[in-house]
Amino acid sequence: MTAASTLAPANLSERTGLRDTLRHTGALIRRNLLSTKATPEELLDVTFFPIIMTVMFTYVFGGGLKHSVGGNYIEYLIPGIFVQMLSFGSIGVGIKLNSDFDKGLMDRFRSLPIARVSVLTAHLVSSVLRLLLASLITLVVAVLLGFRVHTGPVDFFGGIGLLLALGFGVSWLSLYVGTVVRSPQAVQGVLQIALFPLMFCSSIFTSVGTMPGWLQAFAKVNPLTTAADAARALMVGGQFTVGNAVWVTLAWAVGMSVVFAPLGLRAYNRHI
Amino acid sequence: MEIQNGSGQLAVQVEGLVKKFGEQTAVDHVDLAVPAGSVFGLLGPNGAGKTTIVRMLSTLLRPDGGTARVAGLDVVAHAQAVRRVIGLTGQFAAVDESLSGYENVYMIGRLLDLPAKQAKARALELLETFGLDEDAKKTAKQYSGGMRRRLDLAASLVGRPRVLFLDEPTTGLDPARRNDLWEIVRDLSSTGTTVLLTTQYMEEAEALAQDIAVMDKGRFIARGTADELKVKIAGRSIRLRPVVLADLPELRTVLQSVLGVVEDVAPGTVGGPVAEDDQVARLLKAVAAADIAIADISTVTASLDEVFLALTANKSAGKPADEPADEVPTQTTKVEAAR
């Protein structure tokens, strides 16, 4: 090792070039993937959780619920399961970011000459990759349970893309919460408390029409309802018509990103 | 571009540095100059402000006042440039526990723009240096506390930093591991790396640092080399015992004239405080001139522990009444624990 005792000329640039930032982000995504590989149980929330929900609702509640949704419960349920999985699957990214602060890793990253935001972008990209994997697993399980896609590939993948966009928006919310609360457990607590009522008071598991009037009012404006309705129209079609659910869902997805990305970035950059 | 900016060979240069957290002033107008290539020790109890200084110098915290330069670079205006020349090992090993030791160090290499091949070579080299090569593929979760510290240190050295910040690097390590880490710091220093370390242990500051600043409540309450601190604060004294007891009165007169003070420290032994460096030589000359045969001569220096206690005790004695009164016992406990 030859460390210089004299002070040599240094690179005084304060900006990190785009190519460098992309490479740094790549190194950090690799870190996230290796971390997931070493602790695959981190994927339980996007693998077993949707499977359990699917099986439970299909066989435990499905018999009772199917009459309210037109007879074929699994066709009704699966698009909703995608919505549930893509929103709940985004909790993980906030937990990950919070742990980086909690365990002092962020100090290490921040003492390196990299763009600070690359840690955040890497988490975001990893989150979308997680959601993609989860979508694939959910689809395979759904098909095994008898779910069939009745629309074309364009509609189906359009539906997945729409839900991923929503998951992207929820990921920003998750990153924001992950930056402002004090512990990884708190991230999970806050987001689950926010998402559970949204999940059950929606059209994910049953028709909004079966709920009392005051709840219907909430359920109809619930973004998870519009997302589930849009997903049904795009994946199953038939009796489930598109209406304006797709556009409303897209607006929610974009809106959440527009609101929570600046909030998240601000909180992140101010975080000590 | 030459970046010395008139700071000469100062690796760290701090003037009037202030950091406040709400009402509390964590760092209160601190000045500091660390020559390049030296080891500087920041010594103080918990909450003294040591970590806050390190966090400002390593660009993690923005100062509220004053200036700080690392390798001649302003930590606010040239934060990224500072990050290119520093390494930081914090109080808690900042390693990704779910990654292997190798992957942790490799990742830092990639983040420091090393090409994949070089990042790999550098990671392997450092893991070997720190005796982690056999466990390189284990996840850091499986590492012991000492191994994690070494991994953390390896990660902070990937970029061959010119200035290394070590925040309480041996807290929680057993004595053997602590000695290993001391050796590493000495090796780094011998290759020209400037090291600024914080510690609660006098022994550690004395073992490693050429210069020490003692910190309490956001301020430096004393600074100097370990020897200077001992002399300056707790004093150094000399003791003499004449061969013939009859010489004692004359010896007492000699001491009185040279040192200004004389004490009977033991039967047949007199002594006095040494305040100036040339007093010992002058005293010996005077003793020789008086033709007094000396049987035994010794100098006594306070330990740094005593210095530290003296410093913090003085401070407690002189502070306002609304401060908690248990300050001194708390620190005594800490000093005991440090041994």
The whole-angstrom separation of Cα A267 and Cα B177 is: 39
B190 contact A CB<8A? no
Q: What is the mean pLDDT of residues A129-144?
A: 89
Domain definitions of chain A by residue range: 18-270
Q: How many residue contacts between A and B have a Cβ separation below 8 Å?
A: 127
Amino acid present at A89: G
Interface subset of B 287-306, CB within 8 angstroms of A: none
B4 contact A CB<8A? yes
A243 Cβ neighbours under 8 A, 6+ residues apart: A229, A233
Cβ contacts (< 8 Å) between A107 and chain B: which residues?
Answer: 55, 60, 88, 90, 94
Contact state of A109 with B111 under an 8 Å Cβ cutoff? yes
Say if residues B197 and B80 touch (Cβ distance below 8 Å): no
Contact state of A111 with B60 under an 8 Å Cβ cutoff? yes
- pLDDT above 70 covers a percentage of chain B that reads 85
CA-based nearest distance A226→chain B, Å: 38
The whole-angstrom separation of Cα B175 and Cα B190 is: 22
The whole-angstrom separation of Cα B149 and Cα B100 is: 14
Q: Which fold has domain B236-301?
A: Alpha-Beta Plaits (3.30.70)
**Which ipTM was obtained for this model?**
0.85
* DSSP β-ladder status, B24-35 and B10-21: antiparallel
Cα-to-chain-centroid distance, residue A189: 16
Contact state of B98 with A34 under an 8 Å Cβ cutoff? yes
Cβ contacts (< 8 Å) between A10 and chain B: which residues?
Answer: 1, 3, 71, 73, 81, 84-85
Cβ contacts (< 8 Å) between A112 and chain B: which residues?
Answer: 83, 108, 111-112, 159
Q: What is the mean pLDDT of residues B208-214?
A: 92
CA-based end-to-end distance of chain A: 33
Query: For testing the chain A interface, which of B9, B21, B80, B91 should be mutated: the one with the most A CBs within 10 Å?
Result: B80
Identify the H or E element spanning B256: helix B248-259
pLDDT at residue number A7: 46
Q: Which of A105-109, A133-137, A251-255 has the lowest mean pLDDT?
A: A133-137
Of the CA atoms within 13 Å of residue B330, those in its CB half-sphere come to: 11
Domain definitions of chain B by residue range: 10-230, 236-301, 304-338
Q: What is the mean pLDDT of residues A213-229?
A: 92
The whole-angstrom separation of Cα B171 and Cα B92 is: 9
Query: For testing the chain A interface, which of B70, B75, B111 should be mutated: the one with the most A CBs within 10 Å?
Result: B111
Contact state of A104 with B73 under an 8 Å Cβ cutoff? no
Interface subset of B 132-171, CB within 8 angstroms of A: 139, 155-156, 159-162
CA torsion sign for A225, A227, A230, A235 is negative
Amino acid present at A172: W
The whole-angstrom separation of Cα A238 and Cα A261 is: 36
- pLDDT above 90 covers a percentage of chain B that reads 53
CA-based nearest distance A172→chain B, Å: 23
Contact state of B110 with A23 under an 8 Å Cβ cutoff? yes
CA-based nearest distance A143→chain B, Å: 34
User: Residue B14: is its pLDDT beyond 70?
Assistant: yes
User: Residue A116: is its pLDDT beyond 50?
Assistant: yes
What would the pLDDT profile of B38-82 be if each residue is shown by its tens digit? 999 999 888 889 999 999 999 999 999 999 999 999 999 999 999
CA-based nearest distance A221→chain B, Å: 41
Nearest to B108 by CA among B87, B131, B92: B87
CA-based nearest distance B159→chain A, Å: 9
Ranges of beta strands (E only) in chain B are: 10-21, 24-35, 39-43, 65-70, 73-74, 86-89, 163-167, 194-199, 211-216, 219-224, 236-242, 263-266, 269-274, 294-301
Cβ contacts (< 8 Å) between A108 and chain B: which residues?
Answer: 88, 90, 94, 108, 155-156
pLDDT band for B235, please (50, 70, 90 cuts): low
Contact state of B83 with A112 under an 8 Å Cβ cutoff? yes
The whole-angstrom separation of Cα B99 and Cα B151 is: 12
- Mean pLDDT: which of A50-64, A256-270, B298-312 is highest? A256-270
User: Residue B317: is its pLDDT beyond 60?
Assistant: no
B76 contact A CB<8A? no
Contact state of A3 with B59 under an 8 Å Cβ cutoff? no
- What is the maximum span of chain B, computed from C-alpha positions, in angstroms? 81
Contact state of B111 with A5 under an 8 Å Cβ cutoff? no
Cβ contacts (< 8 Å) between A2 and chain B: which residues?
Answer: 160, 191-192
Cβ contacts (< 8 Å) between B79 and chain A: which residues?
Answer: 14
CA-based nearest distance A116→chain B, Å: 10
Q: What is the mean pLDDT of residues B303-327?
A: 52
Cβ contacts (< 8 Å) between B159 and chain A: which residues?
Answer: 112
- Residue among B99, B113, B156 minimizing CB distance to A31: B99
pLDDT at residue number B305: 67
B300 Cβ neighbours under 8 A, 6+ residues apart: B236, B237, B238, B239, B271
Query: For testing the chain A interface, which of B21, B96, B167, B189 should be mutated: the one with the most A CBs within 10 Å?
Result: B96
pLDDT at residue number B5: 42
pLDDT band for B303, please (50, 70, 90 cuts): low
What would the pLDDT profile of B239-260 be if each residue is shown by its tens digit? 899 998 899 999 999 988 888 8
**The listed CATH number (3.40.50.620, 3.40.50.2300, 3.40.50.300, 3.40.605.10) that belongs to domain B10-230:** 3.40.50.300
What would the pLDDT profile of B158-199 be if each residue is shown by its tens digit? 999 999 999 998 887 888 888 888 999 999 999 999 999 999
Contact state of A12 with B3 under an 8 Å Cβ cutoff? yes
